[in-house]
A and B are shown apart, each in its own frame.
Chain A
Amino acid sequence: MNPNLYKGSMETILINLLSKHKEMYGYQMTKIVKELTRGQIEIKEGSLYPLLHKMEAKGLIESITKNIGNRDRKYYHLSKKGKEEKNTMLKEMEEYLAIMNNLLQPKTN
């Protein structure tokens, strides 16, 4: 799928994903998105981490580092602000999809 079609939606996608999991790490997010979309959407590492850092700076997500044996792993979870923003972002996405649907498949009277 053309990445330009979903580039602007990545933040909403990640917020929604994190809302369904207690915490997630970067690689896990790329894997789950790929599985859920059957490979249609692949979040590239070069895009994922800058976006996660941006969202963390905005206060939408928080991170915690845990040791997993031979290395540390950074887990992300939704912050209080992120949980509050989530519903607004999902609503905006639904409205956008409805508008696009009307635009591309206008109902004829």
Chain B
Amino acid sequence: MLNNKQINQLFDFTRQKRVRYKDVQIEIVDHLATAIEEQLKENPDLSFKKSLEQVYAEFGIFGFAKIVQAKEIAMQKFWQKRIFQKIKKHYKLPRIIGTLGSSLLLYRILVHAWLDISFVVIGLSILSIVGIIWVFYKQYVMDNAIREYLYVQSYYGIVGPFFLLFYQLPTIWMTNLEDSLISKGIIVIWILSGITPLCAVLFYICMIDIPKELSREFHNKFGKYLELI
């Protein structure tokens, strides 16, 4: 078996080859180490450096780039799926009672003009801006050691565009508010009544629910690496 110094050299090697995520490095280092150990068993005269060159050559002309890219895409899909699964839960019993209840309540409020539609639209915009600022803030205050993990980075990479998307919807409406009120009236109220609770659910999931789980899961999976720093 390779010694700790050689394992650390493999981690340095993967970093030099632009694998910046620690969690991706772990799997690649194990593969490199296992392949080198097998080579050295068959050919004890081979140097560690030469063996590494040969093993790395097996990764092809793109080296580790394809692996990193594939992992980034896989993690994006992982978090997207997680967010959608959590949203779905809010549209199943028992939570659907609350979600649809909020929609119906908002519909009544808007249809009777107890609250102007523009307040709801502005509210959604503000919520989106708060979300975008939150994403930047979380990444700014994040420990550098944690920032190196794709598991965490990919989550904030997904969530930012979600908030941006919801910022765009109210903005589009705001620029056409007069026309939409006159020509589409009740349809606008139905749509707003539907998407406002959805937005609230989404913001709760993205800013509170998943980050709590992410923190726990991250420390379970990678906590020991942070203790070594």
Contact = CB atoms under 8 A, between A and B. Distances in A.
Interface of A: 25-27, 44-47, 49-51, 53-54, 56-59, 65, 68-74
A65 B66 contact: no
Top 3 nearest A-B pairs by Cβ distance?
A50-B70, A57-B74, A53-B74
A73 B70 contact: no
B73 to A, nearest CB: 7
B77 interface: yes
A65 B221 contact: yes
Contact of B71 (A27, A45, A53): A53
Given A26-B31, A45-B31, A74 B26 contact: yes
14 contacts: A25-B30, A26-B30, A26-B31, A27-B34, A45-B31, A46-B60, A49-B70, A50-B71, A53-B70, A57-B77, A59-B81, A65-B221, A71-B7, A71-B26
Nearest to A56: B74
Do most interface residues of chain A lie in helix, strand or loop, or is the interface mixed? helix
B1 interface: yes
Interface of B: 1-4, 7, 26-31, 33-35, 58-60, 62-63, 66-67, 69-71, 73-75, 77-78, 81, 221
Contact of B67 (A27, A46, A70, A71): A46
A49 B67 contact: yes
Contacts of A53: 67, 70-71, 73-74
Given A53-B74, A70-B2, A70-B4, A46 B62 contact: yes
Nearest to B5: A70
B7 A57 contact: no
A46 B26 contact: no
Contact of A44 (B2, B58, B69, B70): B58
A56 B71 CA distance: 10
Contacts of B7: 70-71
Contacts of B67: 45-46, 49-50, 53
Given A50-B70, A65-B221, A70-B3, 17 more contacts: A25-B30, A26-B30, A44-B58, A44-B60, A45-B58, A45-B60, A45-B67, A50-B66, A50-B71, A56-B74, A56-B78, A57-B78, A68-B30, A70-B1, A71-B29, A74-B26, A74-B30
